[in-house]
Amino acid sequence: MKEIFCSLFALLGLSACQGEETAAGYIVPEATYVLARMNEAPFDARANIRFLPGGEVTGQAPCNSFGAAQTAPYPLFELGPIRATRAACPDLALESDFLGALARMQMVEISGDVLMLSNEAGEKLEFQRAP
């Protein structure tokens, strides 16, 4: 029966039977998404995120690179402990805000080139896919 459903989804071009149930299964593979807005305000520093196969999330915060495991099935989003390098820079406060918000996210929505992370408290991180 599973083969029939997977064949049907394959014919329709859907990704539900790819075996990857995290957000990584619903985006352009290993695409980089750049943070555009945090809680409706423009984010004026550099930050991005990538979803790798197997649930690994990596990215660049304003000062440091980071990584974490994300194994919740789409559209849920739950990061394990965030690992980050420890360089200092003038945007360290923005980095702390970003990584703190990222750790609190609970949902992911992907629509075209936009990736939106949100939580029940109303916080949002809006990313745009880099060209």
Q: How many domains does the chain have?
A: 1
Among all chains, which residue has been given the structure tokens 């990215």?
59
Residue 39 sits in which domain range?
21-129
Tally the C-alpha atoms within 13 A of residue 62's C-alpha that lie toward its C-beta. Answer: 17
Answer whether residue 5 is part of any domain. no
Answer whether residue 99 is part of any domain. yes
Residue 22 is predicted with a pLDDT of 87
Answer whether residue 9 is part of any domain. no
How far is 22 from 12, CA to CA, in rounded Å?
Answer: 20
Answer whether residue 119 is part of any domain. yes
Answer whether residue 34 is part of any domain. yes
37: DSSP letter: E
CATH number at residue 72: 2.40.128.270
Query: Using one digit for the tens of pLDDT, what is the confidence trace for 72-122?
Result: 999 999 999 999 999 999 999 999 999 999 999 999 999 999 999 999 999
Answer whether residue 16 is part of any domain. no
Inform me whether the pLDDT recorded for 4 exceeds 90.
Answer: no
> Hey, how many other C-beta atoms are within 10 angstroms of the C-beta on 8?
12
